[in-house]
Structure 1
Amino acid sequence: MTRHRIFDMSFASIYPLYITKVERKGHTQEELDQVLTWLTGYDSAALQQTITEEITLEEFFDRAPEMNPNVDLITGVICGIRVEEIEDPLMQKIRYMDKLVDEVARGKKMTSILRKPVAA
């Protein structure tokens, strides 16, 4: 399997782009951080530490305290590819993150972004 260059990009280089994207659409860094903590289990201090340490995206997800158990409820298209069909686990996590950031920027309700499983 091909190693993608994005795996070696630092989270610190991508995070400001995410902030710009959500703020340009009238949303906040706090909303962004909320979805990132939901996805990865990092708290605000740990998120800031990943930025300070300039860890790669691969390390960011390897060190994540706990991926949210409802992550498989994230569906849809990002970069022309359905996120639920991405075979590389790391690339899928990165695209899940992109998808959540897009949803914040589009103004989707936070209750919808932070997916809750449908009660049986």
Structure 2
Amino acid sequence: MKNNFDRVFKMSFAGVYPHYIEKAEKKGRTKAEVDEIIHWLTGYDQKTLQKHLDDKTNFETFFRQAKVNPNSSKITGVICGYRVEEIEDKLIQQIRYLDKLIDELAKGKAMEKILRK
């Protein structure tokens, strides 16, 4: 399983980011909402997010440099067949948190619920 993690860690965040936007927009949501979720989860502002995108930062570096929101522990549910709250590897858990939040956005959930306010 570690090899799968390594592959995910090395993936460029910039390579996946357009897919997050596409998933949201297909369901009538916006890039701004995707960015708001990323800002909330990582603590990055738009300038820092853009720098990571421009630099093609990999997921490992992207999340290791983030100040992950303490309320992220309130994110629960299943993504890719795993309960996010039970994932032991913190980095994979954070990546799956983002997947789960984008999923919730695409399913029409209200932003204040997605951002665990």
1:69 & 1:81 partners in 2: Cα distance?
21
Gaps spanning 5+ residues in structure 2: where? none
What is the deviation of 1:62? 1.0
1:36-47 matches, within 5 Å, as: 36-47=38-49
1:70-109 matches, within 5 Å, as: 70-109=71-110
1:63 & 1:49 partners in 2: Cα distance?
12
Would you say how many aligned residue pairs link Structure 1 and Structure 2?
Answer: 115
Over aligned residue pairs, what C-alpha RMSD do you find?
Answer: 0.9
What is the deviation of 1:27? 0.4
Residues 4-43 of structure 1 show CA distances to partners (whole Å, capped at 9, x for unaligned) of: 1111000000000101000011100000000110000000
What is the deviation of 1:63? 1.2
In structure 1, the partner of 2:2 is 2
In structure 2, the partner of 1:20 is 22
Identity score, percent: 57
Give every structure 1 segment of 4 or more consecutive aligned residues whose post-TM-superposition deviation is greater than 4 Å. Answer: none
Gaps spanning 5+ residues in structure 1: where? none
Greater helix percent: which structure? 2
In structure 2, the partner of 1:48 is 50
1:54 & 1:22 partners in 2: Cα distance?
21
TM-score of the two chains, using structure 2 as the length reference = 0.95
1:87 & 1:94 partners in 2: Cα distance?
12
1:33 aligns to 2:66 (yes or no): no
